[in-house]
Amino acid sequence: MLNTEVFKGSFSDLFVSSLSESLESGISAELQGGNFWDGAASGAMGAAIGSGIRGLGNPAWQHLKETIDDSTSETGAALMVAIGEGLDGQVNDNKFGHATNMSLLQRALGPLAAPLLTLIGVGYEAFHTFFPGHTQDNYVDFYHTLNPTRRGPFFALFDGQHPVNWLWDTPGDLLGNALGQISGLIFSPGIAAQVNRAAFLIPGPNYAGKPESAWTKVASPGAAWPW
């Protein structure tokens, strides 16, 4: 049920090394006439940094492009499974996709990546305030998103959506990201896949079964029971 790889690996390494280093540094500081707690804090911080550096030896970090490509492919497969069960991800503008992709990345990259993935999620939403994402006809690489087709009436601002839709869609996307990070850190893959389905309960603009032109109009809220 739990993500034992994380608990037995990164977390245990962090806990054991931090505890031992803090005790050793605290005692050393006390023997040298310093403060035990100051020494313990410095030791724990050094151990945490060392544990993080060791975490970079994870193959997922060494082959980062492949890791991202794999998570994207697996997310697409999960969305297709959901569609086969009558769950259209666009019912709340892909909150399930956000949760699933972030969960896969968090599990692969480990706890060290948690703050970085959070920042990337926020940065992604900020970037698409000014550049369209999946509102374009086809997915494109990062370079081509810098020269998008800017159709009216919003000319690619707000991810090509109506500003009202974007305003309440974005917090939901971030909530989906957070759900995915938690599931990726804590749960086994099978349980995490079910936890990620809770993202269908997050309200978002309902674009299910609608043409792309619907993005430029105020959308009704959508969500779905996923189990």
Domain boundaries, the chain: 1-55, 60-222
**Confidence category of residue 24, pLDDT binned at 50, 70, 90:** low
pLDDT (tens digit, 9 = 90+) per residue, 129-148? 887 665 554 444 545 555 55
* Amino acid letter for position 28: S
Q: What is the pLDDT of residue 156?
A: 65
Name the residue with higher pLDDT: 116 or 6.
116
Tens digits of residue pLDDT in 34-67: 676 665 566 556 545 454 544 556 788 888 889 9
Residue ranges with strand state E in 66-222: 204-205, 221-222
Q: Are 161 and 215 in contact (CB under 8 A)?
A: yes
Ranges 7-16, 63-72, 171-180, 189-198: which has the least confidence:
7-16
Site of tokens 């990062």:
142
Residue 174 has pLDDT above 90, yes or no: yes
Instruction: Express each pLDDT in 86-106 by its tens digit.
Output: 999 999 999 999 999 999 999
**What is the pLDDT at residue 39?**
56
pLDDT at position 204 over 70 = yes
CA distances from 123 to 97, 120, 153 (A): 17, 5, 24
What is the percentage of the chain residues whose pLDDT exceeds 70? 66
Average model confidence (pLDDT) for the chain? 79
What confidence score (pLDDT) does residue 140 get? 47
Q: What pLDDT sits at residue 149?
A: 62
Looking at residue 130, its pLDDT comes to 82
Cβ distance 178 to 198 under 8 Å? no
